[in-house]
Amino acid sequence: MTSPTEPTPPTRLPLLPTHAVPPSTLGTMKHDGSRIKMQPADVKGKWMTRRRVVFALLIAFYVVMPLVEIGGKPAIQLDAAARRFYLFGATFNAQDFWMVLLLVLSFAFGLLALTAWRGRVWCGWACPQTVFLEGVYRPIERFFEGSREQRLKLDAAPWSARKLGLRAAKYAVFLFVSLNIAQAAAAIFVGPRELLAMILDGPRAHPEAFLLVMGFTAVLMFNFTWFREQFCVVLCPYGRLQSVLHDKDSITVSYFEKRGEPRGKVSKAPAAAPKGDCVDCNRCVVVCPTGIDIRNGMQMECLACLQCVDACDDVMHKLKRPPELIGFASHHELIGKGRTVLRPRLAVYSALMLLSLGTLGFSLATRTPFESNVIRTKGSNPFVMTAEVVRNPFEIHLVNKNPEPSRFHLSIEAPVPIEVVLGTPDVELASLADARVPAMVSIKRELVKGPLELTIVITDSHSGVVKRQPLAFLSPMSVGR
Q: Which residues bind ligand SF4 (CB under 6 A)?
A: 253, 255, 260, 263, 278-284, 287-290, 292, 294-295, 302-308, 311-312, 315, 325-326
CB-nearer residue toward ligand SF4: 276 or 403 = 276
Helices (H), 226-272: 229-230, 237-240, 242-245, 257-260
- Min CB(220)–ligand SF4 separation in Å: 22
Per DSSP, the residues of 204-263 read TT-HHHHHHHHHHHHHHHHIIIIITHHIIIII-HHHHTHHHH--TT--EEEE-HHHHPSP
**How far is the C-alpha of 168 from the C-alpha of 162, rounded, in Å?**
10
- Min CB(309)–ligand SF4 separation in Å: 7
CB-nearer residue toward ligand SF4: 296 or 478 = 296
CB-nearer residue toward ligand SF4: 10 or 382 = 10
- Min CB(308)–ligand SF4 separation in Å: 3
CB-nearer residue toward ligand SF4: 42 or 280 = 280
CB-nearer residue toward ligand SF4: 27 or 191 = 27
**How far is the C-alpha of 260 from the C-alpha of 321, rounded, in Å?**
11
CB-nearer residue toward ligand SF4: 304 or 432 = 304
CB-nearer residue toward ligand SF4: 283 or 391 = 283
Contact 475, 456 (CB under 8 A): no
Contact 348, 97 (CB under 8 A): no
Q: Is 419 exposed, middle or buried (0-12, 13-18, 19+ CB in 10 A)?
A: exposed
CB-nearer residue toward ligand SF4: 66 or 124 = 124
- Min CB(113)–ligand SF4 separation in Å: 20
Residue 35 DSSP class:
B
- Min CB(43)–ligand SF4 separation in Å: 8
Handedness of CA 200, 206, 211, 217 (dihedral sign): negative
How many residues would you count in the chain? 481
- Min CB(238)–ligand SF4 separation in Å: 15
Question: Which uninterrupted H or E stretch holds 79?
Answer: strand 76-79
**How far is the C-alpha of 69 from the C-alpha of 77, rounded, in Å?**
10
User: For the chain, how long is the longest CA-to-CA vector?
Assistant: 119
CB-nearer residue toward ligand SF4: 7 or 344 = 7
Contact 224, 178 (CB under 8 A): yes
Helices (H), 241-343: 242-245, 257-260, 283-286, 307-318, 331-334
First to last CA, the chain: 91
- Min CB(268)–ligand SF4 separation in Å: 17
Strands (E) across 282-433 are located at: 326-329, 370-376, 384-385, 389-400, 406-413, 419-422, 426-429
- Min CB(289)–ligand SF4 separation in Å: 6
- Min CB(21)–ligand SF4 separation in Å: 10
**How far is the C-alpha of 373 from the C-alpha of 46, rounded, in Å?**
57
159 CB-near residues (< 8 Å, 6+ apart): none
CB-nearer residue toward ligand SF4: 69 or 257 = 257
Q: How many CA atoms lie within 13 A of 189 on its CB side?
A: 10
- Min CB(460)–ligand SF4 separation in Å: 53
